[in-house]
């Protein structure tokens, strides 16, 4: 059982985490949800389309202008509080690597801290434990936040992913984070080449076999673009194909831009796997 905020999710229940970037320079939407009103409209639409988790980020993942902890908090804390007020049952996640920001957003009502940079600030897990919040433990290959990989190598990328993510998850539980609220993430693109991310996808079942729920953040990423030689705005089909493979291999949480399309893919895979009945089953019966 995965438990986040007020919600519980069964072992075969795929969960959508919708991305809401509170940044003026996000790689995909170029700041479309930087202002409050469009961001709140995005939350409302994502929930209506089937997202159970809203992931709020205040700093662009890639290189760019410096964003201090104070500015990151200014972009996220008040927004978290407003989403909590308007959507009391939605799971609120915040994408941050900074403990001080984690503390502020948990005070405002966040249920989950999405540490995409692999524990670069060890105190973030302590914050999650103190507030009873969930934690995403990600493999970033030891990269510093907001840096791009350069000629990174692994003897076995999946072995390294398992070592790091399981280690972070076990540490989080020792600190007091509820075990049922800890997820592991292979960190596609983070500290990885395209071939590394493809191998991580191909061998995702090895992460699932650890028993920790697996989150994948695949949406429109560079490994999809490079694999198909497509720019950012033409990566949806590749993302959905990767989503279907990940679902078949047992990933549970999907961090996405396109919620409705992802919902259909996940429902179809769940039905093929026998975990979900067809919405309608008339063919050959009437």
Point out the residues that are catalytic.
221, 255
The Cα–Cα gap between 13 and 250 comes to 10
What are the φ/ψ torsions at residue 26 (nearest 5 degrees)? -60, 145
For residue 141, what are the contacts with CB-CB under 8 A and spacing of at least 6?
A: 118, 149, 152, 154, 160, 187, 190, 191, 192
For residue 112, what are the contacts with CB-CB under 8 A and spacing of at least 6?
A: 4, 5, 53, 91, 92, 93, 94, 133, 134, 135, 136, 181
The Cα–Cα gap between 183 and 187 comes to 12
What are the φ/ψ torsions at residue 195 (nearest 5 degrees)? -65, -35
Beta bridge partners of 254: 16, 216
The Cα–Cα gap between 133 and 113 comes to 7
């Amino acid at each position: 059982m995965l438990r986040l905020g007020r919600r519980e999710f069964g072992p075969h229940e795929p969960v959508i985490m919708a991305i809401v970037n509170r940044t003026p320079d996000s790689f995909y939407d170029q700041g479309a949800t930087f202002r409050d009103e469009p961001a709140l409209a995005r939350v409302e639409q994502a929930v209506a389309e089937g997202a159970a988790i809203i992931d709020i980020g205040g700093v662009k993942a890639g290189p760019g202008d410096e964003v201090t902890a104070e500015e990151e908090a200014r972009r996220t804390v008040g927004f978290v509080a407003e989403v909590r007020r308007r959507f009391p049952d939605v799971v609120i996640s915040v994408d941050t690597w900074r403990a001080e920001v984690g503390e502020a957003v948990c005070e405002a009502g966040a249920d989950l801290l999405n540490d995409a940079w692999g524990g670069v600030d060890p105190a973030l897990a302590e914050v999650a434990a103190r507030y009873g919040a969930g934690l995403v433990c990600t493999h970033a290959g030891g990269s510093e936040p907001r840096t791009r990989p350069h000629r990174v190598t692994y003897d076995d990328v999946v072995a390294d992913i398992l070592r790091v993510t399981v280690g972070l998850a076990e540490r989080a539980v020792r600190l007091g984070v509820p075990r049922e609220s800890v997820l592991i993430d292979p960190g596609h693109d983070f500290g990885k080449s395209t071939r590394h991310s493809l191998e991580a996808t191909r061998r995702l079942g090895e992460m699932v076999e650890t028993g920790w729920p697996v989150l994948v953040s695949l949406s429109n990423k560079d490994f999809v673009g490079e694999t198909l030689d497509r720019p950012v705005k033409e990566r949806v089909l590749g993302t959905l194909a990767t989503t279907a493979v990940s679902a078949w291999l047992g990933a549970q949480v999907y961090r996405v831009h396109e919620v409705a399309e992802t919902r259909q893919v996940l429902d179809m895979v769940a039905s093929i796997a026998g975990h979900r009945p067809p919405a309608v089953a008339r063919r050959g019966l009437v």
